[in-house]
Each structure stands twice: as C-alpha cells, then as structure tokens.
Amino acid sequence: MADLTLDTARKILDAAFAKAGELKLKPLVVTILDTRGVLKLAAAQDGTSLMRAEIAHGKAYGALAMGMGSRALFQRAQEQAYFIDAVNTIAKGALVPVPGGVLIMDGSTLLGAVGVSGDTSDNDEACAVAGIQAAGLKPNAG
C-alpha cells in the first residue's frame, strides 16, 4: 500500500470508535491525515466538547510535522520546552504535543497520522493505536 485510501481511513476511524465504546470513554473526535497533512477523514461522536476537532487535528498534524508520534513530542516538550514552543510558533500553533497523535506506518512507509481527542491523552492514544492495528497497519505513537 503506497497511499492511505479512504477505505483504510474508514477502517481506522470505525475501529478507534469501537475501542472508545469498549473502554466506555468520553465522546471522541478522530482525525486522519495523509502524508501531506491533508484531511482524509474526520468524525466527532455525539456530545464532544468544543475544540476537540482542532485538538485531534493538532495531534495528528504535529506527529506528521515532526516525524514522530505525539507521545515523543510530549517527552521532547518536557525536555526541550523552548524548542517545541519555537516549532509551534513557526507552525502557527498547529501542533498539540501530547499523546493521541499516532503515525500510520505500512512497514517502513509513512501513510499518514491519526489524532484523537476527547478523553485522557493515554486513552485517546489507545484508540488511535487500535484503529491503525485494525486496518492491518503499524502504529508509531512515539
């Protein structure tokens, strides 16, 4: 698979929401971007709070922009706060460096990223990982 298809993105989305249901999480937004950072698919469960779509997008976008899952960005922000702040300034505030942004890998080939927001960052990440794995792909959460 060279590109992230809409069918694959739908599988990721459906499985991420299924995982959220299984874990009885708060309502989530799932955003899936291709390697160019272009929106492939996004959906919000009923009852999501304000700004969740922007946060989910920022988690996925940050992962793509920096080439690492947002858990690694979170760690880097703790160790090099000025660097992440500078990068986020350059990106016009588009990065959200907390867990929940996961790169989608097909072997060693990057296909895109998933961002999830609505529950704790760890739970958001678990749903992104579950969605990517359900599509037969490899997640890189950082």
Average pLDDT over residues 2-13: 95
Tokens of 116: 């999830």
HEC assignment per residue over the chain: CCCCCHHHHHHHHHHHHHHHHHHCCCCCEEEEEECCCCEEEEEECCCCCCCHHHHHHHHHHHHHHHCCCHHHHHHHHHHCHHHHHHHHHHCCCCCCCCCCEEEEEECCEEEEEEEEECCCHHHHHHHHHHHHHHCCCEEECC
Q: How high does pLDDT run on average in the chain?
A: 96
| Domain 6-136: which CATH number of 3.30.450.150, 3.40.50.1110, 3.40.190.10, 3.30.70.1450 | 3.30.450.150
Residue 1 has pLDDT above 60, yes or no: no
pLDDT of 29 reads 98
Residue 140 has pLDDT above 90, yes or no: yes
At 82, the pLDDT band (50, 70, 90 cuts) reads: very high
Residue 84 has pLDDT above 80, yes or no: yes
Q: Where are the domains of the chain?
A: 6-136
β-pairing verdict for 101-106 and 39-44: unpaired
The share of the chain scoring above pLDDT 70, in percent, equals 99
pLDDT of 3 reads 92
Residue 10 has pLDDT above 80, yes or no: yes
At 7, the pLDDT band (50, 70, 90 cuts) reads: very high
